């Protein structure tokens, strides 16, 4: 078999570069993707996709999720997109903290960010927690008014942003949200969360079997996302959950904020 010429090698290199850039653009466009989905979307053999993703990861342009077979753009590729690189940066900061604190708290932890009238889970320990009753939670959309993460975001975001979100929720008109859109409930919830530094969900709303507590990740006055812990209501009281986890969640949120803010 004849050896490859310099032209052949150059053509292969150009093709690999073109495919790598196409993969990077695709991930940046969708925010996060599984290798198999990338292969199908771009009509590139799956082994080639994995090889190119490995190269991009080594170069610092993409990063694999710590809790799911998902790949995202890394901070180095921030100039390529809008908010996806920041989300990836949050995930990278949260992953080691979730591993460390998750082993102590045992109950599952979530990292979520605001997206179009919902909180979207970016990272989670559900798959690793022996006490979780949920799986495959990455990408799950959480309602704003009926989850601790949504409540924490609403409580700590700016008054202007909160007003826009509430107006959006009113337009969407979800019947399940109506009791929580009343000023008699919303105002005290915000005041109480701000005073305590966290929000809770423990009255059987959203998921009757579980309750949760969430604290915001704040950097330079802006809420970047929220860290939550979820537990089974019949296994632990809210008071006990607060006593054992509120301080730890605050430490996680502050550490993420410090890491991302320094980037």
- 66 within a domain of the structure (yes/no): no
Pair (145, 207) in one structural domain: yes
Across 8-12, 53-57, 129-133, which has the greatest mean pLDDT? 53-57
Pair (98, 49) in one structural domain: no
Rounded Cα distance between 248 and 167, Å, is: 33
Pair (125, 18) in one structural domain: no
Interval 53-83: pLDDT, tens: 999 988 878 888 877 788 888 766 655 555 5
Pair (127, 248) in one structural domain: yes
Pair (95, 147) in one structural domain: yes
- 241 within a domain of the structure (yes/no): yes
Range of the domain at 251: 85-261
Q: For the chain, what is the domain count?
A: 2
Interval 14-68: pLDDT, tens: 888 889 888 988 887 787 889 999 999 999 999 999 999 999 988 878 888 877 7
Rounded Cα distance between 250 and 228, Å, is: 10
Burial class (CB in 10 A: 0-12, 13-18, 19+), 56: buried
Pair (174, 217) in one structural domain: yes
Pair (45, 150) in one structural domain: no
- 72 within a domain of the structure (yes/no): no
Pair (42, 107) in one structural domain: no
Pair (17, 147) in one structural domain: no
- What is the helix (H) or strand (E) element at residue 224, kind and residue range? strand 222-232
């Amino acid at each position: 078999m004849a050896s490859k010429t310099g032209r052949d090698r150059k053509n292969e290199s150009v093709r690999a570069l073109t495919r790598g850039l196409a993969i990077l653009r695709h991930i940046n466009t969708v925010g996060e993707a599984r290798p198999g989905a990338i292969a199908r979307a771009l009509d590139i053999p799956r082994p080639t996709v994995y090889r190119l993703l490995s190269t991009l990861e080594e170069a610092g342009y993409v990063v694999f999720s710590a809790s799911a077979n998902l790949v995202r753009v890394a901070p180095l590729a921030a100039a390529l997109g809008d908010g996806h690189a920041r989300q990836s940066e949050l995930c990278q900061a949260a992953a080691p903290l979730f591993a460390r604190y998750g082993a102590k708290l045992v109950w599952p932890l979530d990292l979520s960010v605001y997206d179009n009238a919902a909180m979207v889970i970016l990272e989670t320990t559900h798959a690793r927690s022996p006490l979780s009753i949920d799986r495959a939670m990455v990408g799950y959309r959480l309602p704003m008014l009926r989850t601790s993460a949504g409540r924490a975001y609403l409580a700590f975001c700016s008054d202007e942003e909160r007003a826009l979100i509430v107006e959006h929720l009113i337009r969407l008109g979800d019947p399940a949200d109506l009791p929580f859109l009343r000023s008699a409930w919303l105002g005290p919830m915000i005041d109480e969360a701000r005073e305590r530094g966290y929000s809770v969900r423990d009255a059987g709303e959203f998921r009757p079997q579980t309750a949760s507590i969430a604290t915001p990740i704040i950097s330079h006055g802006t809420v970047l996302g929220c860290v939550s812990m979820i537990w089974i209501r019949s296994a632990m009281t809210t008071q006990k959950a607060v006593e054992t986890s509120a301080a730890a969640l605050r430490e996680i949120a502050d550490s993420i904020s410090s890491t991302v803010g320094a980037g």
